[in-house]
A and B are shown apart, each in its own frame.
Chain A
Amino acid sequence: MKTAQGIPIDYYVWLSAALFTIGVLGVLYRRNAIIVFMCIELMLNAVNLLLVTFSNYFGDASGQVFVFFIMAVAAAEVAVGLAILIVMYRNTKTTDINILNKLKW
């Protein structure tokens, strides 16, 4: 039940759960769209940390390769998301996510 360095693997599970929860808290708590993006990055990193932990635990490199792909997808997501945010700012002069309620039924 320990990683190669002798740290119990449960500790990493709790740490990742806490980090993911902080990301969820940020998404729910803040209204600035850029901060919401950063909190999504926090959640992605919580998952990355857990993948690396289990990759170390099982001695399998696939987990670390998945982390590469998550990083590539995160980079693409941030580039497109921030471009959308700039377009939104150009039209509404704000990054408040509560302004974007035109599609609400």
Chain B
Amino acid sequence: MTLNIFYLLSFLLIFFALLVVFSKNPVHSVLYLILTFFAIGGHYVLLNAEFLAIVNVIVYAGAIMVLFLHVIMFLNLNQEAEPHKSNLLKFAATISAGLLLIVLIGALKGTSLLTPGANNSVSVGDVKTLGKVLFSEFLLPFEVSSILLLAAMVGAVMLGKPEKNQSTK
């Protein structure tokens, strides 16, 4: 039963991810990417990481994708205005990606995994455990990431501001 759910979610994940790459309209790409993130959230639920699944849906499918959609509509890219690459370049891109997949499979094929510790069956995905680890062991990285987000916000506002000499012309 669980394996069937895994197969279904994996199929949806790969299918929507391919549609992100190959759909002509950028708005459709964004919508398919949201569906991809929902499929990944389903995988997180399957892996007992419920809190991460919720955060994934809220942050990725909610906030980040709204940002993408906003920029696409802001730039008015909702029609096919993109000049396409030549067929040779597309062919080369597909071949390179296929070769990368072969290399990844070949590199990972013969590896053996470490045996898990004694606490394999303990659920670690709940809010309580994650919060304890985040605010004790990873407190410094947490604070540093808040500085990173602040810097990113300042940078985005600075970049997005209209330039002075442009507006006076």
The CA-CA distance from A87 to B55 in the complex, in Å, is 30
**Given known A21-B97, A64-B52, A83-B159, contact A89–B121 (CB-CB < 8 A):** no
Nearest CB in chain A: distance from B131 CB, A: 10
Interface size class of A (residues with CB under 8 A): 35 or more
Contact yes or no, B68 A67, CB < 8 A: no
Among A53, A65, A95, max chain B CB count under 10 A is at: A65
Q: Which residues of B contact A34 (CB under 8 A)?
A: 26, 68, 71-72, 77
Contact yes or no, A14 B113, CB < 8 A: no
Q: Which residues of B contact A37 (CB under 8 A)?
A: 68
Nearest CB in chain A: distance from B37 CB, A: 7
Interface flag for B165 (CB, 8 Å): no
Q: Which residues of B contact A5 (CB under 8 A)?
A: 2, 46-48
Q: Which residues of A contact B2 (CB under 8 A)?
A: 5-7
Contact yes or no, B133 A83, CB < 8 A: no
Task: Report which of B10, B30, B64, B160 forms a contact with A86, defined as CB distance below 8 A.
Answer: B160
Q: Which residues of B contact A80 (CB under 8 A)?
A: 152, 155-156, 159
Contact yes or no, A59 B116, CB < 8 A: yes
Nearest CB in chain B: distance from A102 CB, A: 18
**Given known A5-B2, A17-B104, A80-B152, contact A58–B46 (CB-CB < 8 A):** no
Interface flag for A105 (CB, 8 Å): no
Contact yes or no, A79 B156, CB < 8 A: yes
The CA-CA distance from A22 to B160 in the complex, in Å, is 31
How many residue pairs, one in A and one in B, have C-beta atoms under 8 Å apart?
226
Contact yes or no, B113 A1, CB < 8 A: yes
Contact yes or no, A48 B40, CB < 8 A: yes
- In the complex, the 5 A-B pairs of residues with the closest C-beta atoms, listed nearest first: A76-B152, A28-B93, A25-B97, A83-B159, A59-B119
A sample of 7 more A-B contacts (CB under 8 A), given A20-B104, A71-B55, A75-B152, is: A7-B6, A31-B85, A45-B40, A56-B48, A56-B125, A76-B151, A79-B155
B residues apposed to A, CB below 8 Å? 2-3, 6, 10, 13-14, 17-18, 20-21, 26, 29-30, 33, 36-37, 40, 43-44, 46-49, 52, 55-56, 59-60, 63-64, 67-68, 71-72, 74-75, 77, 82-85, 90, 92-94, 96-98, 100-101, 104-105, 108, 113-114, 116-117, 119-125, 129-130, 133-134, 137-138, 141, 145, 148-149, 151-153, 155-157, 159-160, 162
